[in-house]
A and B are shown apart, each in its own frame.
Chain A
Amino acid sequence: MIRRNVNLGLERRDFLRISVAASGGLLIGLHFPGLQAIASAESVSKQPANFMPNAFVRIGSDDRVTVIVNHSEMGQGVYTSLPMLLAEELDADWEKVGFEPAPVDPKYNHPAFGIQMTGGSSSVWSGLEQFRQAGAAARAMLVTAAAQQWKVDTTACRTESGAVLNGSNRKLTYGQLVGIAATLTPPEHVQLKDPKTFKLIGKPIKRLDTPEKLNGGAVFGIDVKLPGLLTAVIARPPIFGAKMKSFDDSRARSMPGVKKIVAVPAGVAVIAESFWQAKMARNALKVEWDEGSMQNFSTAEMMHQFREQVKSPGTSVRKDGDAASALSGAAKKIEAVYEVPYLSHLMMEPLNCTVDLRADSCEVWTGSQFQTIDRANAAKVAGLPPEKVQLHTTFLGGGFGRRANPQSDFVVEAVHVAKAAGAPVKVIWTREDDMAGGWYRPAFLHAIEGGVDASGNALGWRSRLVGQSIMAGTLFAAMMMKGKEYDPASVEGVDDLPYEIPNITVESHQAEINVPVQWLRSVGHSHTAFAVECFVDELAGLAQKDPYQFRRALLQRHPRHLAVLDLAAEKAGWGKPLPNGLGRGIAVHFAFESYSAHVVEVSVENGQVRVHRMVCAIDCGQYVNPGIIAAQTEGGAIFGASAALLQELTFDKGRLQQTNFHTFPVMRMNECPKIETYIVDNQEKSGGIGEPGVPCAAPAIANAVFAVTGKRIRKLPIRLSEAV
């Protein structure tokens, strides 16, 4: 199902090593998908009004440069940062640069993951060479075209702001050169710029997609319009695994606008002329469910079982030295059990998908993070080869991982509905449908035991986690788990515990529960950082040391951890007195190839935690757009703070107890702290930025609550009544 290419078997760290090796020299072979083959074929066959030297750029005779972006725009800024990379090497006039979502094609596969997708905070680092090379190749061809025109050597030509120049008075714009350039063969090798000469990369360039997001012009999946489009909502099972037994649509089917009511694998689809009519008819529908094996499921009971399970040894993830002996010989030791709940991605745009299914074609419009997989799954249901399915990627009204569903749940069901509708149809999930629809961040329990010697030196650490695997049973299991008996996504962020402690044990228990779970922004790090960074504070307390200095001492061989930690501490004024009632907390974490540290200030009033200030330091190596990095870091901090303070999904009798924003809240304007972001400047490899801002928020807040109240937080969301 996934079209394999040479990169599919690679883990991202392998990929990084290869890409670094490849970028060691300035002359780069065009080894990425999409940079070869199509070049001459397409450019010659198309009318000369356009020059498309490779899959990533099209230049028009009107001088417009359109960058075709193979990653989805879900707020993280890829429709700006990736065009910046290409435009930099092309020496384009930035005012004339635009973007276009890529169609689904192997040319647009993720260079490291082998499918077309967006996730893992990987768009910029994986596109870094690809988009620069695409721009450089186009530039070289335009220079050759101009040189031919002028009958001069290419070395006598230079480029600037969308034009080729020769001497002091000859100039041809790229638009004037598209006809000749389109007849040329793309170069085999291109020279990339010396970073010292960058004009765009590294600058806080304003986002290209902002204007249309300010006047209602941006088209999200839910906004797609088609002639004759119907709208459907689905009556969905109230419990995971429940099956429809029967339904009574005697009242619903005669309601205004209702076209059809039909059983589909996802439930009972109500297809109408408009959303409201479909929703009203669904309210009138009576469905009987066979509730299945989850009818008595309760999260309270599940966490109780996790607490029992954690008492026995799990699958070994990491074993340095002998933690058991070290702990038994420790002068002082402590054990803490951390708990985090299921979480909903809660994108502002609820899930939706529009399908126009014909006898021999199928068009799909949706905000997808998983184009290759969604297209293949849609094709299977449509009974068509994937090439007959055209998937149009719209803007995503938030993604956070939910729109990268291994089963393409929201796409597959829409194709089923389209089959029944006999007309183009848009399936819209209500907020309640979206929240109850599963694929959550899994709940986790993480028990940690640690000990120090008489002088307060950390001797041993034992982590034991219980939670569901995200990867198990998916197409990614083979690639990501690589025969391991545990899911790396469950333990990431503690399996690589950076602190210099001589004896470390990490063990994992995989819980088998029929609640669908999925990656949510920062994945395993969203819970491991909370447990680890809170426990480091508990150890510092045991050692009677300052939490910042305690970390520093244990991170001496980790200069990038230290640099962000020091930067956040310095900017926040760590150690300086605070007004009465305020306390500070600190946390540092490595995730998605980037380093992050937070220092936060909180107060506690009437049992409520209020976050006043968050100081964030981020090191994502060589960066492209510091404006976007600051935005992602701020947004990540707020995302993490929302989870820390407000969010929890619970089940009772198999039913989700939260339904909408009033029961699963998001931080609001009046609760939002002042946030400062400081970016480390260095020449390290590029890391991710969409997710690394999230993990530190919860532990830094929890540690600050301890500073104010003297009580330890070991459960999210933070409730002082549950503090220890």
Chain B
Amino acid sequence: MINFSVNGKRVDLDVDPSTPLLWVIREQLGLTGTKYGCGMAQCGACTVHINGEAVRSCVAPVSRASGKSVTTIEGLSSDLSNPLQRAWREEDVPQCGYCQSGQLMSAAVLLRKNPKPTDDDIDDAMTGNICRCGTYPRIRRAIHRAAEMVAKGDAR
């Protein structure tokens, strides 16, 4: 048995502890917003938070989450009220959308640690997240926009 919390809810699972967290989240817990892209921490589509830190869930064994708090895209805010989701919407960032859960989860950690990131900070934090559609310029603008929202205090 492995216990941890996902988006604030406690889960107890009977699962092989070496199974990557990604597949536990997607298949056992049915939270399919977290995506499979590479299986080797190359693309970032599977990014979730464990105790607030960005983790590539495709290579993290579920045992790593034991006793910890996991946040997935579904837990960022389901009503799109997070400043990043709002900024993403205002910049109309997604194209196919497949990588965007991971992009948002990486950006969320960046903004928490660095509320006013420079372009270089964005490069450092976001370079692990691939977008094949090429939404990078809009992601960059959206992160700056979200940072402004937070700074102005209009983040709900």
> Which chain A residues have a beta carbon within 8 Å of chain B's beta carbons?
73-77, 206-207, 209-211, 213-220, 222-223, 225, 231, 256, 274-276, 346-350, 395-400, 428, 430-431, 627, 631-632, 634-639, 660-662, 666-670, 672, 674-675
Question: Contacts A669-B123, A675-B137 hold; do A216 and B34 have CB atoms under 8 A apart?
Answer: yes
Q: Are B130 and A76 in contact (CB under 8 A)?
A: no
Q: Does B155 contact A (CB under 8 A)?
A: no
Q: Closest CB of chain A to B59's CB: distance in Å?
A: 12
Interface size on B, residues (CB 8 A): 61
Known: A215-B74, A349-B35, A395-B97. 10 other contacts (CB 8 A): A215-B76, A215-B80, A220-B35, A275-B26, A348-B96, A348-B99, A348-B133, A350-B36, A350-B37, A668-B129
Most chain B CB within 10 A, of A77, A213, A396, A635, is at A213
- Docked complex Cα distance between A223 and B30 (Å): 9
3 closest A-B pairs by beta carbon, nearest first, are: A216-B33, A638-B134, A397-B98
Q: Does B73 contact A (CB under 8 A)?
A: yes
- Per-residue A-contact encoding for B87-114, CB less than 8 Å = 1, 0 else: 0110011111111110010000000000
Beta-carbon nearest neighbor of A614 in chain B: B137
Beta-carbon nearest neighbor of B94 in chain A: A213
Q: Are B27 and A274 in contact (CB under 8 A)?
A: yes
- Per-residue A-contact encoding for B1-27, CB less than 8 Å = 1, 0 else: 000000000000000100110010011
Q: Does B32 contact A (CB under 8 A)?
A: yes
What residues of B have a CB within 8 angstroms of the CB of A669 in the complex?
A: 122-123, 126-127, 129, 136, 139-140
| Chain B, 124-156, CB within 8 A of any chain A CB | 124, 126-140
Contact of A631 among B31, B92, B129 (CB under 8 A): B92
Beta-carbon nearest neighbor of A223 in chain B: B32
Beta-carbon nearest neighbor of B30 in chain A: A225
Q: Does B118 contact A (CB under 8 A)?
A: no
Q: Are B95 and A75 in contact (CB under 8 A)?
A: yes
What residues of B have a CB within 8 angstroms of the CB of A662 in the complex?
A: 40, 42
Q: Closest CB of chain A to B23's CB: distance in Å?
A: 5
Q: Closest CB of chain B to A263's CB: distance in Å?
A: 25
Q: Are A207 and B92 in contact (CB under 8 A)?
A: yes
What residues of B have a CB within 8 angstroms of the CB of A660 in the complex?
A: 38-40, 42
Q: Are A222 and B43 in contact (CB under 8 A)?
A: no
- Docked complex Cα distance between A634 and B133 (Å): 9
What residues of A have a CB within 8 angstroms of the CB of B74 in the complex?
A: 215-216
- Docked complex Cα distance between A105 and B54 (Å): 44
Q: Closest CB of chain A to B149's CB: distance in Å?
A: 15
Contact of A634 among B26, B132, B137 (CB under 8 A): B137
* 29 pairs, CB–CB < 8 Å, chain A vs chain B: A75-B95, A207-B92, A209-B94, A209-B97, A210-B88, A214-B85, A214-B94, A219-B32, A223-B26, A256-B16, A276-B23, A348-B98, A348-B133, A396-B96, A398-B98, A398-B133, A431-B39, A631-B135, A635-B95, A635-B133, A637-B134, A639-B132, A639-B133, A639-B134, A662-B40, A669-B129, A670-B126, A670-B127, A672-B137
Q: Does B77 contact A (CB under 8 A)?
A: yes
- Docked complex Cα distance between A399 and B78 (Å): 27
Q: Are A275 and B27 in contact (CB under 8 A)?
A: yes
Q: Closest CB of chain B to A689's CB: distance in Å?
A: 12
What residues of B have a CB within 8 angstroms of the CB of A400 in the complex?
A: 132
- Docked complex Cα distance between A256 and B18 (Å): 13
- Docked complex Cα distance between A712 and B17 (Å): 54
What residues of B have a CB within 8 angstroms of the CB of A256 in the complex?
A: 16
Q: Does B47 contact A (CB under 8 A)?
A: no
Contact of A75 among B33, B40, B126, B133 (CB under 8 A): B133
Beta-carbon nearest neighbor of B86 in chain A: A214
